[in-house]
Amino acid sequence: MRIAQVTTYVIKQPTESAYLGKLDDGTSPRADDGYFVRPPWRSLYSPHMETLLVCVTTDDGLEGWGEALAPVGPEVVAAIIDRMLGPWLTGRDPRAVRPLWDGMRDLMRERGHLVGHQADALAALDIALWDLAGKAFDLPVAQLLGGAYRTEIPAYVSGLPEPTDEGRARLAADWASQGAFAVKLAAGKGVDEDLATFDAVAAAAPGVRIAVDAHWAYSLAEALELGHELDRRRALFFEAPLAPEDTDGHRELASRITTPVAVGESLRNRYEFRDWLSRRALGLAQPDVARTGITEAMTIAALAEAHHVPVACHHSVGLGVALAAGLHVSAAVADSPYFEFQPTTVPFAQRILRKPLGAGPTGFTLPDGPGLGVEIDRETVTDLAKES
C-alpha cells in the first residue's frame, strides 16, 4: 500500500450566524468585508466558515481525510501541503504514521516551522494518515491509540453569541433546559463587564458551571483581579487570560488563584507544552487536534498526565473531520473531563458527513467505524470548495 495522491480542499463558506455571534454594536459581520478584528480581542476573524480539508488516497483506492484548523488563510495551509508535504508523502506507506510524522516534522524543523501554518498542515496530514491506518487495519483510531476510556464524551457549551447579558442569560437558561452542565463565556471585555455577564448567566442557569475565555486580553494585574472573583464564584476554568507568549505571567497567575488556568489553542507541539507544563503555568491543557495532529496531541496528553494536568481538547470552527479527530483523542486520554461543543459551527460541520455525529450540549458519542469513523461526502466537499 502506497500513497498515490494528496488533494486539498479550501473551504470558505458563508454561514447564517457569524462565529461568536454579532458584534458588540449588534451588527453582523458582512460577508464582503474580508477579515476583521473584534475589539477588544486582537485576532483576525472571518465572516465565513473557513477551513482546509485534505484527502490522502492510496494506490488501492483507500482514502484518509484530515483537517487543519485554519479559520483565516486556509489557502496558505493548502499551498504548504500541495508544494512541499504532499509530494514528500507520495509513494510512501501510509500505515507508518509515526515515522511519517517525524519525517514531515523534520523537513522544516530547523527553519522554525514547528509552529504556524506549517504545523497546521502537518496536523491535517497526520489526521488523514491515522484515518487511513484505521481503515487499513479495520479499527477505530481510538483503538489504535490504545483503547477508549469512554465512548460518551461530556461537553461544555462554548460561547453564548448574543451582544447583551440579557441575551446571554436567556441562551444559558435554554441550554440548561436541554441538559448542559457547563457553558463558556466569550469574555475579555473588562473585569467588571465580564463579572456582570458571569453573574447574569449564573442567575439564569443556576447549577450550570461557567468557564471564562478572556481571549488573551488582560494584563497580569487585571487577570488576578478577575481570577480572584472567579475563585469566589467557583468558575470551571479561566482560559487564555494573558498574552499567549507570557508563560511567566500565566505561571504567576496560576500560582495565585484556585480556578484552573486553561491554555493550549495557541500551542502546536510537545516542546511548547513541555515548557508550560514544567513551569506549572497552566492547570488545564487544551490542545486543538486540528492544530497539533493526533500523534502530537497524544504526546502532549502524556506530558500533561506526567504533570497531573487534565486535557480538554479545544475545538472551534472545524468541520466534521477535525471534530471526529478531537473526539478520538479525547476518548483515548485517561484524564479528559470534557470537550468543546460549538453550537454555531457543529451544524455546518455535519454538512460534509454522510451520517452525522452524535453531538449535543450534553456531549458527543464517539464514532465507532474504522479510522475516524466518519464517511465524508466528497461531492459536498468538492462543491463547497468550488464555491469558496
Residue 238, all three cell numbers: 479561566
Residue type, position 189, single letter: K
Cα–Cα distances in angstroms (integers) from residue 334 to residues 127, 340, 347, in the given order = 20, 17, 28
What is the spatial distance between Cα 388 and Cα 9, in angstroms, rounded to a whole number? Answer: 10
DSSP state, 52? E
Q: 315 an active-site residue?
A: yes
What is the spatial distance between Cα 257 and Cα 253, in angstroms, rounded to a whole number? Answer: 6
Q: Which of 113, 215, 315, 328 is catalytic?
A: 315
| Kind and range of the H or E run holding 227 | helix 220-232
40 preceded by a cis bond (ω within 30 of 0): yes
Instruction: Name the phi and psi angles at 102, rounded to 5.
Output: -60, -40
Instruction: Name the phi and psi angles at 147, rounded to 5.
Output: 115, 155
How many CB atoms sit inside 10 A of residue 210's CB? 23
What is the spatial distance between Cα 220 and Cα 322, in angstroms, rounded to a whole number? Answer: 33
| Kind and range of the H or E run holding 174 | helix 165-177
Report the relative pairing of strands 359-360 and 339-341 from DSSP bridges.
Answer: unpaired
Report the relative pairing of strands 284-285 and 261-263 from DSSP bridges.
Answer: parallel
What is the spatial distance between Cα 276 and Cα 254, in angstroms, rounded to a whole number? Answer: 11
DSSP state, 85? I
| Kind and range of the H or E run holding 328 | helix 320-332
Residues marked active site are found at 315
